[in-house]
Amino acid sequence: MSLIEKTGMALLRSFDPETAHGMAIAALGRGLAPLSRPVTSPRLWMRLAGLDLPNPVGLAAGFDKNAVALSGLARAGFGFVEVGAATPRPQPGNPRPRLFRLSADRAVINRFGFNNDGAQAIAARLAKRPADMVLGLNLGANKDSADRADDFAQVLRICGAHLDFATVNVSSPNTEALRDLQGADALAALLDGVMAARAARPRALPVFLKIAPDLSDQELSELADVACKAGVDAIIATNTTITRPPLKSPDAGQKGGLSGAPLFSLSTRILARLSQLTDGRMPLIGVGGVGSAEQAYAKIRAGASAVQLYSALVYEGLSLVPLINQGLLELLDRDGFDTLADAVGTGRENWL
């Protein structure tokens, strides 16, 4: 981490978390954030759901909810970027405070509730996106929608022309009853609508599904079966958790989704089990507690073709992205793999 980045991170930590987050996004959008030189290598290249990723380290949804910092994110060294979640209509989300740093645990709790500017405003920004990035949008539903399942298809219809992939997010814990859409019947109906909206587009668009880490084995098995039958192109495992492992920070009891280091083991076990259930029928993206090259590599060996991070950036800054990619190259050398693709799933049994 450079001195400029260290100073900026220290300054941000002097503000409340949501204000600091807004400042970071504004700096990125204006080209003011310090960015490290990206790490590139053919050994890190990954083909996922028809997308060519220059490296496997992606930005998870939630960091840039409204697609206002695309130019900065395109230069931050990510292999792919996911923005949103977007809902058909703008909504303010839940009352503040709704974002909490758990510094002693290297974790974050949020209960934002899909606050965003709405699909039309976000689509206008996506239309001006940099061409040289792999960009996706997290699809969400309005809290007061009469037909939440149709909301996902609506957002896809509005924004799809400007995307490389879209993610169906039925796993946020911060919109009441949203996770009910992960049930087999409800999810199948929802995905039917999204796939119909995709089929109406002039070009193919990969559709991903983001799942919760708090599923039973039976629920996970049913979900994997539904996703495969629906033609989902990849599964993102996982979103935040509503469970609470032992935590040290004062805000540990806050309501919302927990992310960061304490989520790593839970989300990786879900990922490995999902890899076993899908058995190569679709690629997986590992999310949850990734804060180092070793953790990214563990996700890949558990079955992920790529990873995403977000919470670790709160503590490590954007310089973490090239550090992870450089570390992955060193881990490939250590274990004798020619490419990262060769390592996918080779350590799955360690998590089952």
Q: Which residues are catalytic?
A: 172
User: Rounded mean pLDDT of 325-348?
Assistant: 98
What's the structural domain count of the chain? 1
pLDDT tens digit sequence for 179-221: 778 888 889 999 999 999 999 998 889 999 999 999 999 999 9
Closest CA to 61 of 127, 119, 139, 126: 139
Provide the pLDDT confidence category of residue 174 given band limits of 50, 70 and 90: confident
Q: What is the CATH number of the domain that holds 242?
A: 3.20.20.70
The residue segments making up the domain with residue 283 are 3-351
pLDDT tens digit sequence for 241-298: 999 999 999 999 999 999 999 999 999 999 999 999 999 999 999 999 999 999 999 9
Can you tell me the distance from the alpha carbon of 174 to that of 164, in angstroms, rounded to the nearest whole number?
26
Helix/strand/coil for 267: helix
pLDDT > 80? residue 3: no
Are 55 and 341 in contact, with CB atoms under 8 Å apart? no
Are 76 and 109 in contact, with CB atoms under 8 Å apart? no
For the whole model, what pTM was predicted? Answer: 0.97
Can you tell me the distance from the alpha carbon of 135 to that of 83, in angstroms, rounded to the nearest whole number?
8
pLDDT tens digit sequence for 11-23: 888 999 999 999 9
